[in-house]
Structure 1
């Protein structure tokens, strides 16, 4: 059998055709279902078991385990999912990705969808020019689906016919009886193939095509195991520039697949013998592709069943092997995905932006608690350290606001619906308020530093009042974060406004009390000025905090 460089290029081109079709279809599906899938992910992951079903459902619908994994990590970073819950979602995503193998095996070979590809494109193409954006999104799904199977048809034609070339089969059969180390060799080949094509689904499809052309099932099954490892290496490489939580999520995914591949390499002959009872050895290689898809599904399903009970152990191992830097504060709040163009889907891009806004909200809440500790400690060294933390966090809020705003400006250049445009504007309003919160807290920190620098002191009554208003502001922060994390339709302004009114009233009461004390014996005017600046600062924080909730529901106030 002659097989030259031109034939290799044809395989690479056909594989690229297939991957491009899969990308177009996946992007279209993300746009059609992305926001709904985000809501499902947030609502159906109360424990690792429901998380498995959720991961399976989302991956099956979006046809992209990467999209599911990225959404999951962003939810973990935003504090909406724990590592324990995210592990279940990733396990389910592994099972969901096996649907691609069945789709290719059943539809791609049984039915000549390539024959219908041009009519499908003919239906989808005019839909791209309709004013209704849902039709435009479905047009991408249809066109991507057609391109995917055109690519599959080209791939089948480009791959050499192994079964009609005995010399190749003799070569492969020499490996086929090599036992455990032969399996390891082809696991390595499958891993390398996935890393090269950057898609486990594409690597799986190529393996199925080779199997239909005569590749022995033992070898193909070992390659599939390697492809499961390859997809985790891609995730690990992507997490190198990520924060600690993202690294831990990627590590859990890797551990899950590595442990599964390890036990399956040992038991693979037994599993294949059992599958042979369902898919008896055929006269042609056609039935082997069904057996391979069944093997892939069996492996991932059994792996979930075996390891679901060991999730706490996986989480502990990932936490112990991926250490956080310093005390984890700055690491926790580093921006993660914005600007990396992971999604072409507007809905999922907005989801990522929203997750970063939640993190920005957490930064400002952390700053308010640092400020409270700063105002209550008498240790000068501790005060200097806390003030330096406030400076760093305020710099961080500036950087986060700039990066989120830049991302949203780029996003606004995409095709946005009126609702999406309104959401972009709402997020920009919110991050402006949150950045202003950071500025006010730092200025209040400097007010406390001024108190120390001039050797001034608050009396016990003043300290108690400042702690009282600080507590109410902290309650307002908690309400704000709950509203940021919740669904927009379920966010209520009532509790946020009530808390803001309490803060405003307390500020008025403190001012009245202070005015009565001015001029009385023992009243210290310089410390009283600082005292007024700090409780007035807390009142301004309350205004901006409630403004965030009003921005969520679209009732933004204008603050001076």
Structure 2
């Protein structure tokens, strides 16, 4: 609601300005064209985020210096810190990277945004850029009509650059015309008061434009036209940096927990950087003058000097924050908590709208969610259906010893456990899997991965239904005096406990291969026994040691137990098997 209100107010203010001052129209058109160019640039680079770029960002987060460098370089190349933020939020949401790694990418993205200032100051303002913009637009439009996705992406990038430079051209022309009517430099404010006032103005402009890069382009073109003083332009640049956090915070109001934490980190980082830059603005301005003298930049080349200043205070902010990144991460985790983490397994832990941005993130999130469901809810429900505690299943205690001491009926309601611990999360997994298959462009490997995850979840639900029937008969046998019936059901319990334990050990012990081979043998055995008879039950019937009704239950549960064993192993193979090519968009 707040975001919509600010947007509406901005439109009203813009309309009034255009009505009262027609001379502002050319500048406004330039801003609009530049913003449209940035949107097209982002759209074009999205085509290239579905493989190599995602892989680079994911691989670069194991070390802080690598994540900062990757964030800076990628943002400088694609001219979109928002796209880097979207990828980062998706990766954190899916559990592909840590919050600390994501913070590094965001910090680096702040450095990368300084490339816009260099591009405009060193290139856009110095030459007749409209001459270069037109060929870019022509070729860009031609490419966008191609069926090939890559060519479409290239077309959007070229057209985006064309509109970006054309916007700068119109902004330059607008300020040249504008100054013949009104000289904005007359409103210059010197000293520390000017710093505060113009920093606030920079925040306001960026909030309206929703882009710090567009604000910087506006500042640089106004500065080159002599419409604002250099000192005030420095303060405006600081304000633009702080103002971009307003956009991030507004965007995160309805976002998931990862988005909220990153937006908070962005706000804290940019605010601290802005405050430091305000306090040190005059010493930093002198440092810029010294650098300009050393590099033979003209003392009156204010646009390049502004680009230097913008880079210095952004790099300074990163340098100041690096020693405190762990503390910042802890602060964010402490004060911005996921409400779902305090609940049982009845709400998604990894699934949210952010993971649906890319195939790799949604597959990773689906896999983690399904694995979490299997290792917690399904493991618990099956164990308790056998009247066995999970801690005993996970132990190295002998199976006979566990069976001997587990002689109490847990009196559980498996239907109730299903609805409280499984149904909601299962429905969300299927929903997200279906959305991914219908909305995202997946390769063969990715389609197979999602299909396997859906199959695994369907089998988990079947295991619960099978366990419900088995639980009734196990509880009945435990309450009778028929030791022969009890012995048969204890044998069933032992078989399933053994499988659960091996699945658990295959995930926790170093010798994974040994347990994987055991599971394959058990699966083969269970598959065979589903179709074979049980000689021990036949013997009990012949000796009249069990009733006809008890024999019927034993026969049914003999098949049931082997079906549960087979399905448990199937799920383990589907979820724990290596799902390759999550990031590869060129699968067959």
| Shorter-chain TM-score above 0.5 | yes
Q: Shift of residue 469 of structure 1?
A: 0.8
SS at match of 1:279: helix
1:65 alignment partner in structure 2: 81
2:243 alignment partner in structure 1: 230
1:367 alignment partner in structure 2: 377
2:363 alignment partner in structure 1: 354
1:557 alignment partner in structure 2: none
Q: Shift of residue 114 of structure 1?
A: 1.4
205, 230, 247: which one aligns with 2:217 = 205
Q: 2-side partners of 1:65 and 1:380: how far apart?
A: 59
Q: 2-side partners of 1:374 and 1:23: how far apart?
A: 55
What does 1:83-102 correspond to in 2, within 5 Å?
83-102=99-118
CA deviation string 1:383-423 (max 9, x = no partner): 569954764433222233224423532345xxxxxxx4535
2:120 alignment partner in structure 1: 104
1:195 aligns with 2:211: no
Q: 2-side partners of 1:233 and 1:191: how far apart?
A: 8
Deviates more, 1:327-336 or 1:14-23: 327-336
Q: 2-side partners of 1:247 and 1:208: how far apart?
A: 32
402, 419, 429: which one aligns with 1:400 = 429
Q: 1-side partners of 2:555 and 2:199: how far apart?
A: 73
Q: 2-side partners of 1:290 and 1:380: how far apart?
A: 79
Q: 2-side partners of 1:495 and 1:38: how far apart?
A: 35
Q: 2-side partners of 1:285 and 1:165: how far apart?
A: 28
Deviates more, 1:316-325 or 1:2-11: 2-11
Contact 1:52-1:93 within 8 A present in 2 as well: yes
1:550–1:261 CA distance, 2 compared to 1 (3 A): closer
1:298–1:435 CA distance, 2 compared to 1 (3 A): same
Q: Shift of residue 39 of structure 1?
A: 0.7
1:161–1:338 CA distance, 2 compared to 1 (3 A): same
Q: Shift of residue 552 of structure 1?
A: 5.2
1:272 alignment partner in structure 2: 285
Unpaired runs of 5+ residues, structure 2, are 1-17, 390-405, 480-485, 583-588
Q: 1-side partners of 2:19 and 2:45: how far apart?
A: 38
Q: 2-side partners of 1:210 and 1:283: how far apart?
A: 20
Q: Shift of residue 122 of structure 1?
A: 3.2
Q: 1-side partners of 2:183 and 2:156: how far apart?
A: 43
1:147 alignment partner in structure 2: 163
Q: Shift of residue 470 of structure 1?
A: 1.6
Q: 1-side partners of 2:409 and 2:203: how far apart?
A: 56
1:74 aligns with 2:94: no
1:191–1:354 CA distance, 2 compared to 1 (3 A): farther
1:260–1:103 CA distance, 2 compared to 1 (3 A): same
444, 452, 461: which one aligns with 1:430 = 452
SS at match of 1:53: helix
Deviates more, 1:72-81 or 1:370-379: 370-379
Larger radius of gyration: 2
1:504 alignment partner in structure 2: 523
CA deviation string 1:503-545 (max 9, x = no partner): 4136359879992442545897547855753552242243355
Contact 1:338-1:403 within 8 A present in 2 as well: no
344, 349, 354: which one aligns with 1:337 = 354
Q: Shift of residue 252 of structure 1?
A: 2.0
1:409 aligns with 2:438: yes
What does 1:115-194 correspond to in 2, within 5 Å?
115-130=131-146, 132-159=148-175, 168-172=184-188, 175-177=189-191, 179=192, 181-194=193-206
Unpaired runs of 5+ residues, structure 1, are 340-347, 413-419, 480-493, 555-560
Q: Shift of residue 325 of structure 1?
A: 1.1
1:543–1:303 CA distance, 2 compared to 1 (3 A): same
Q: 1-side partners of 2:249 and 2:384: how far apart?
A: 39
Q: 2-side partners of 1:25 and 1:495: how far apart?
A: 51
Q: 1-side partners of 2:239 and 2:504: how far apart?
A: 50
Q: 2-side partners of 1:235 and 1:352: how far apart?
A: 21
Deviates more, 1:359-368 or 1:111-120: 359-368
Q: Shift of residue 455 of structure 1?
A: 7.7
1:416 alignment partner in structure 2: none
- TM (norm. structure 2) is 0.76
- TM (norm. structure 1) is 0.80
SS at match of 1:332: coil
1:112–1:310 CA distance, 2 compared to 1 (3 A): same
Q: 2-side partners of 1:145 and 1:496: how far apart?
A: 56
Q: Shift of residue 442 of structure 1?
A: 3.8
